Amino acid sequence: MRRLAILGSTGSIGVQALDVVARFPDRFEVVALAAGRNVERLAEQVRAFRPRLVAAADPAAAARLRALLPPGVEVRSGDDGVVAAASHPDVDFVLAAIAGGAGLRSTAAAVGAGKDVGLANKESMVLAGELMMRLAAERGGAILPVDSEHSAIHQSLLGHNQSEVKRLILTASGGPLRGVAAAELAGVTPERALKHPTWSMGDKITIDSATLMNKGLEVIEARWLFDVEPARIDILVHPESVVHSMVEYIDGSVVAQLGISDMRGPISYALGHPERLPLDLPALDLARLGRLTFEAPDPGRFPAFRLAYRALELGGTAPAVLSGADEAAVAAFLAGRCGFTDIARLCAEVLEAHPAERLDSVEQALAASDWGRREAERRVKYR
């Protein structure tokens, strides 16, 4: 029986994870849940899975939650509550699915407590990947990626030696603007940029997919998760989103992981690892698809992904600054305060303005991300 804490349980990943858990009641026990302010959904989850500890976003949300629950469930709030869920002594696996930098402290708490972590919060690796991997090695827990691309890399690396790896190839759908001419991009509206052709995601990550910043952030994540130099991590646009990523080996062989576009696949892989769980998902029908296509990303039209390589080159706090700047720039675009092509431009300006420092703590990473966010907001305001 694997005992779970699910952080971000009312979000898309959390809901799908609980769907997987419900299918295997003899394999999983939910010990703790943490979520934001969707108190009604969280209360439903508590009644269904009976955790011992529940954390809500703030005291007001916690008070509303208590009123909806039977006695006997411990309800806590804020960062302290989420950290308590992540480090609960009865938990042995934590699914970290709180989006953005807000999830870093609780993910670090889980890793620091020696838990195995299913990582759906890419910001933890972007902001503080080197620290997280070092802490996991010291405390003995494993970090298993839940992002479909990094899960695919993890699966494609199994059974091979690190010395045999030539490069990692992260695939990208190309997002909703893949075929848009460069001259049209400046006029793209938020409504158009949010129409993703393959995945149903939140607004922030959908815009990141449109700019290809999401692939850049995934390069940073892959660099730390798999201990591979950035020069050996490539991106390939694959609009069918069937090949989730690949590994090329030194003999020229390429191992790829294929599957339908359903996040329950990588979620179940992390939850069940090293075993696979039988899911009744639709089969991948390659004959119906007919063909799979690939193309190189165009940095002339979508320069954002290259900024991630630059951030890794600068090192230290630079990736955290890039992440914070991107959050602010995307928010400004969605609010109509800057154009689509301004997102990458703002991020580049902020990144180059930052004097990168050696990264020594989670708090320093969060401070760097906050600096990047504030600096991007300042530049939007005075542009």
Bridge partners (DSSP) listed for residue 375: none
Residues 6 or more apart whose Cβ sits within 8 Å of residue 219? 170, 230, 233, 235, 305, 308, 309, 312
d(CA 382, CA 294): 40
Looking at every residue in the chain, the average pLDDT score rounds to 94
Give percent of the chain with pLDDT exceeding 90: 91
Model pLDDT for residues 2-33, shown as the tens digit of each residue:
999 999 999 999 999 999 999 999 999 999 99
Half-sphere exposure of 337 (CA within 13 A, CB side): 15
Rounded to an integer, what distance in angstroms lies between the CA atom of residue 282 and that of residue 275?
20
Whether residue 167 has pLDDT greater than 90: yes
Show the domains of the chain with their CATH numbers: 2-145 (3.40.50.720), 175-211+298-383 (1.10.1740.10)
Q: What is the pLDDT of residue 383?
A: 65
State pTM to two decimals. 0.93
Predicted confidence at residue 102, as pLDDT, reads 76
Return d(Cα 145, Cα 143) in angstroms, integer: 6
Residue 33 tokens read as: 């849940």
| Cβ count near 141 (within 10 Å) | 20
* 187-196 burial: b if 16+ Cβ within 10 Å, else e: ebebeebbeb
pLDDT in tens, 247-303: 999 999 999 999 998 999 999 999 999 999 999 999 999 999 999 999 999 999 999
The Cα–Cα gap between 308 and 318 comes to 9
Give residue 321's pLDDT: 98
